[in-house]
Amino acid sequence: MSPAINPAGPLEEPGRKPDETEIIVNGRTRTVPGEEVTFEQIVQIAFPNDTTANAVFSMTFRHAQSKPHSGDLAAGGVVEVKKGTVFNVTRTVQS
């Protein structure tokens, strides 16, 4: 079977998963490997090098590939993403 031509990019085999996916984290476009991301990966993208010991993160997502397509993501959670999936991450410091 010959590869399909993708008008937006290079040759791509049907059914082949992309090596990278473009998502939006806190309003900024980011690229992640593959099609799945974890809560912890998104926190690292949103707040790189954050070492605050008592920080708590909360996260919402929308336009995801997985079902449900939107909702809250908790620590340890995984979401199947597609181009344009949006994540909003907030950090709260408990005193």
| Percent of the chain whose predicted confidence (pLDDT) is above 90 | 69
Give pLDDT, residue 94.
81
CB distance 33 to 20 below 8 Å: yes
Whether residue 2 has pLDDT greater than 90: no
Q: Are 61 and 79 in contact (CB under 8 A)?
A: yes
The model's pLDDT over 35-55, given as tens digits with 9 standing for 90+, comes to: 999 999 999 999 998 888 889
Terminal-residue alpha carbon distance, the chain? 60
Span 7-29, pLDDT tens digits: 444 444 565 566 999 999 999 99
Question: Residue type at 81?
Answer: V
Per domain, the residue ranges of the chain are 20-93
pLDDT at 22 (0 to 100): 97
Q: Which CATH architecture has domain 20-93?
A: Roll (3.10)
Choice between 16 and 78, residue whose per-residue pLDDT is larger: 78
Helix locations, the chain, DSSP H: 39-46
Low-confidence winner among 69-73, 81-85, 90-94 (lowest mean pLDDT) = 90-94
Cβ atoms 93, 47 nearer than 8 A: no
Q: Which residue has the tokens 């597609």?
A: 82
